[in-house]
């Protein structure tokens, strides 16, 4: 062992177990960088076992991933039946009948070095401000079902937002498969029956298929889904269960026919025992009900889901079971778990694919070419743990900040304990609108603001520094911004028209 705790062999053979979204994103990401080197990449998947078959809504970071692969956006959108996404609409989360959008973009610009929302809070107290939504270009564009890519001039209002995609996950995996195979990834179809461990180090040496074929590797990426074939079944890494904070444990999913042009946003509507998603693609709408089995049966959940579809169901509902939480170590010995094998946070904010992407890029940054080292693993696990915890807190906020009290599920959720790390963030916001800052990761200030304000969590005061600007001057700037947001959004093309023009979507 060297001073970094390096114990394993130099990495010459990588084996990816699983060919769902996680497996093929990992294969594409690794082959883009390692494809021309001496490192061989194998991927094993089993058509008989299949994939989880959901996961259609993304966050803007996916664009960086696709760009790093060098994908052509129009081609990718055509082949995955993708639509654009400017944010997520939350219906009935604060109170029933209310709606807010978590936008992929800012609420205004700082004035006099003080955050825009602080001026808005002061103007609101004085009765001189509209809803915070009126100052967000992606929200107003989404409400009008408009879309245009962000402007490149950073001084322009049109540059104050980003966007993501809603796509067919099976088609995305196929698309990335072609990409990865073209860069040398070898795919083996078959069911893994056994895992061979080194008696001394406990490292995985090989996976053995039902056919008897043995596939050896130096580094294994476990993308086998909820079952965690290597990370859990072979290495017994352990799982940190977060159901006491996020108790939903099942989902029913069903695609349906589209009855209107796709909206440039995903919708999450709260329901009596959880919430329902609606994700419009070019060729259909994906739907699901994420629920807590303590409060509703599978049959009843399916009945509610089917009754609330836009169009005709295209299949019978599929049921999925999960336990919210994360693997105690995402990287253990020579196995890195990516995707559902690494843990699961419900898809309320479309974060699983983002976590896959973060895992692939962090692994590449710390790639253990000369053998697995403790220091690399510790750093990888620290980065991933932090992002899981940030997302967890953000999701718990949605449940905790509800004023719904019309079903046992919502009454229990509002009263349930929350992580200390979230209580601290909420205390800061409630006092004078301070949003805990992160320099990286996904959920930055506008995301927290959208949920706090959208679910009626209003601070008692505002940052006194906002008083440095004359209130009449601030009110004038707010009014100007609101007018500019409205006219800029109205001038954008319809989302459907843009899709047709850009990627021939009909």
State in angstroms the smallest separation of the CB of 94 from ligand FAD.
22
Nearest to ligand FAD of 195, 485 (CB atom): 195
Q: Interface with ligand FAD includes 22 (CB under 6 A)?
A: yes
Q: Interface with ligand FAD includes 352 (CB under 6 A)?
A: yes
Q: Measure Cα distances from 368 to 44, 178, 200, 374 in Å.
A: 22, 26, 20, 10
Q: Interface with ligand FAD includes 20 (CB under 6 A)?
A: yes
Mask: binding to ligand FAD, 187-206, rule CB under 6 A, as x and -? ----xx--------------
3-state helix, strand, coil split of the chain in percent (to 5) is: 40, 20, 40
| Torsional sign, CA 276, 279, 284, 286 | negative
Q: Interface with ligand FAD includes 129 (CB under 6 A)?
A: no
Which ranges constitute the DSSP H helices of 38-182? 61-69, 73-80, 116-125, 137-143, 169-182
User: Is 85 annotated among the ligand-binding residues?
Assistant: yes
State in angstroms the smallest separation of the CB of 183 from ligand FAD.
19
Q: Interface with ligand FAD includes 82 (CB under 6 A)?
A: no
Q: How far apart are CA 467 and CA 122, in angstroms?
A: 8
Q: Interface with ligand FAD includes 55 (CB under 6 A)?
A: yes
Nearest to ligand FAD of 391, 481 (CB atom): 391
Strand partners, 103: 87
Q: How far apart are CA 116 and CA 138, in angstroms?
A: 16
Interacting span for ligand FAD (CB under 6 A) from 196-204, 220-228, 306-314, 489-497: 220-228
- Number of residues located near ligand FAD, criterion CB under 6 A: 38
Q: How far apart are CA 244 and CA 419, in angstroms?
A: 10
Q: Interface with ligand FAD includes 44 (CB under 6 A)?
A: yes
Instruction: Write the Ramachandran bin of 433: left for phi over 0, alpha for psi from -120 to 50, otherwise beta.
Output: left
Q: Interface with ligand FAD includes 18 (CB under 6 A)?
A: yes
Nearest to ligand FAD of 176, 426 (CB atom): 176
Instruction: Please tell me whether residue 201 adopts helix, strand or coil conformation.
Output: coil
* Torsion from C-alpha of 396, 400, 403, 407, nearest 10 degrees: 80
Tokens of 267: 């919708």
Q: Which of 11, 15, 16, 21 binds ligand FAD (CB under 6 A)?
A: 21
Instruction: Please tell me whether residue 165 adopts helix, strand or coil conformation.
Output: strand
Q: Interface with ligand FAD includes 248 (CB under 6 A)?
A: no
Which residues, numbered 305-334, are part of the site for ligand FAD (CB under 6 A)?
320, 322
Q: Interface with ligand FAD includes 339 (CB under 6 A)?
A: yes
Mask: binding to ligand FAD, 143-172, rule CB under 6 A, as x and -? --------------------------x---
State in angstroms the smallest separation of the CB of 115 from ligand FAD.
29
Q: Is 410 exposed, middle or buried (0-12, 13-18, 19+ CB in 10 A)?
A: buried
Q: Which of 288, 343, 368, 433 binds ligand FAD (CB under 6 A)?
A: 288
Q: Interface with ligand FAD includes 46 (CB under 6 A)?
A: yes
Interacting span for ligand FAD (CB under 6 A) from 15-23, 63-71, 389-397, 495-503: 15-23
User: Is 468 annotated among the ligand-binding residues?
Assistant: no
Q: How far apart are CA 268 and CA 271, in angstroms?
A: 9
> Which residue of the set 85, 329, 413, 482 is catalytic?
85
State in angstroms the smallest separation of the CB of 268 from ligand FAD.
10
Q: In what order do the strands lie in the sheet with 99-103?
A: 99-103, 87-91, 266-271, 274-280, 285-291, 250-256, 318-321
The 8-class DSSP code of residue 348 comes to G
Q: Interface with ligand FAD includes 49 (CB under 6 A)?
A: yes
85 classed as catalytic: yes
Q: Measure Cα distances from 391 to 177, 234, 249, 422 in Å.
A: 28, 28, 17, 11
State in angstroms the smallest separation of the CB of 426 from ligand FAD.
26
* Torsion from C-alpha of 113, 114, 117, 120, nearest 10 degrees: -100
Residues 6+ apart with CB under 8 A from 414: 399, 400, 402, 403, 404, 405
Q: What is the CA radius of gyration of the chain?
A: 23
Q: Which of 353, 358, 391, 478 binds ligand FAD (CB under 6 A)?
A: 353
Interacting span for ligand FAD (CB under 6 A) from 2-10, 38-46, 291-299, 484-492: 38-46
Tokens of 154: 């950073």
User: Is 142 annotated among the ligand-binding residues?
Assistant: no
Tell me the pairing of strands 40-45 and 186-189.
Answer: parallel
Nearest to ligand FAD of 388, 462 (CB atom): 388
Sequence ranges of the binding site for 7-chloro-L-tryptophan: 85
Contacts to ligand FAD by CB under 6 A? 18-23, 44-46, 49-52, 54-58, 169, 191-192, 223-225, 227, 229, 251, 253, 288, 320, 322, 339-341, 347, 350, 352-353
Catalytic residue numbers, as ranges: 85
Sequence ranges of the binding site: 19-22, 85, 340, 349, 353
């Amino acid at each position: 062992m060297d001073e970094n705790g390096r114990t394993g062999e130099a990495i010459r053979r990588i084996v990816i177990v699983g060919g769902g979204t996680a497996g093929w994103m990992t294969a594409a990401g690794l082959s883009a960088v390692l494809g021309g080197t001496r490192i061989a990449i194998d991927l094993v998947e089993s058509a008989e076992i299949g994939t989880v078959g959901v996961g259609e809504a993304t966050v803007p970071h996916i664009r960086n991933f696709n760009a790093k692969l060098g994908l052509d956006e129009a081609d990718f959108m055509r082949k995955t039946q993708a639509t654009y996404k400017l944010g997520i609409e939350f219906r009935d989360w604060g109170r029933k009948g209310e709606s807010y959008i978590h936008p992929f973009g800012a609420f205004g610009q700082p004035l006099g070095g003080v955050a825009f929302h602080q001026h808005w809070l002061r103007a609101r107290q004085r009765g001189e401000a509209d809803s915070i939504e009126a100052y967000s270009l992606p929200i107003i564009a989404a409400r009008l079902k408009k879309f245009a890519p962000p402007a490149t001039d950073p001084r322009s209002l049109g540059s104050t937002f980003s966007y993501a995609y809603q796509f067919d996950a099976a088609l995305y995996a196929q698309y990335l498969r072609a990409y990865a195979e073209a860069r040398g990834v070898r795919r083996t179809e078959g069911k893994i029956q056994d895992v061979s461990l080194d008696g001394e180090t406990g490292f995985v040496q090989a996976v053995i298929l039902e056919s008897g074929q043995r596939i050896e590797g130096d580094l294994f990426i476990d993308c086998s889904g909820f079952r965690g074939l290597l990370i859990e079944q072979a290495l017994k890494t352990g799982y940190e269960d977060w159901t006491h904070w996020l108790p939903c444990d099942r989902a029913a999913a069903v695609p349906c026919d589209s009855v209107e042009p796709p909206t440039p946003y995903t919708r999450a509507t709260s329901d009596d025992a959880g919430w329902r998603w609606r994700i419009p693609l070019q060729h259909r709408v994906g739907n699901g009900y994420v629920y807590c089995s303590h409060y509703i049966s599978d049959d009843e959940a399916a009945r509610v889901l089917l009754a609330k579809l836009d169009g005709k169901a295209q299949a019978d509902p599929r049921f999925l079971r999960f336990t919210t939480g994360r693997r105690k170590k995402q990287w253990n010995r020579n196995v890195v778990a990516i995707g559902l094998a690494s843990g699961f946070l419900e898809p309320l904010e479309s974060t699983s694919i983002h976590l896959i992407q973060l895992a692939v890029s962090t692994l590449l940054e710390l790639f253990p070419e000369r053998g697995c080292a403790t220091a690399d693993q510790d750093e990888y696990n620290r980065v991933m743990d932090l992002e899981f915890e940030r997302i967890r807190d953000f999701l718990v906020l949605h449940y905790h900040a509800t004023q719904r009290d019309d079903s046992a599920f919502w009454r229990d959720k509002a009263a349930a304990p929350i992580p200390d790390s979230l209580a601290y963030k909420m205390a800061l916001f409630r006092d004078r609108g301070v949003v805990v800052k992160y320099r990286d990761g996904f959920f930055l200030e506008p995301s927290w603001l959208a949920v706090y304000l959208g679910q009626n969590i209003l601070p008692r005061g505002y940052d006194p520094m906002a008083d440095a600007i004359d209130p009449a001057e601030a009110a004038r700037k707010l009014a100007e911004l609101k007018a500019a947001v409205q006219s800029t959004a109205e001038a954008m093309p319809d989302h459907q028209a843009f899709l047709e023009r850009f990627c021939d979507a009909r």
